[in-house]
Amino acid sequence: MNAAENMDVAAQVGIMAVPTVLVFNKGREVQRWMGLTKKDVIKKKVESL
């Protein structure tokens, strides 16, 4: 989702900086990280869930 185009949703989930990545499982946030993140780091984080 583009936070700039969906500011209401961004505010609801507490996005305060861009980029921010939120991972949800069954409607619940299970992971959050902010700032630039390398692809391999994202992959490892997602695989560890």
pLDDT attached to residue 5: 93
Residue 23 lies in a domain: yes
The domain containing residue 42 runs over which residues? 7-47
Residue 28 lies in a domain: yes
Does the predicted model carry a pTM greater than 0.85?
no
Find tokens 């902010």 and name the residue. Answer: 34
Residue 40 lies in a domain: yes
pLDDT attached to residue 9: 92
Chain CA centroid to CA 28, Å = 12
Residue 2 lies in a domain: no
Residue 19 lies in a domain: yes
Number of domains in the chain: 1
Per-residue pLDDT of the chain (49 residues; tens, 9 = 90+): 888 899 999 999 999 989 999 999 999 999 999 999 999 998 998 899 8
pLDDT attached to residue 20: 93
* 5 backbone φψ class: left, alpha, beta (φ>0; ψ -120 to 50): alpha
Residue 25 lies in a domain: yes
**E strands, 1-49, where?**
20-25, 28-34
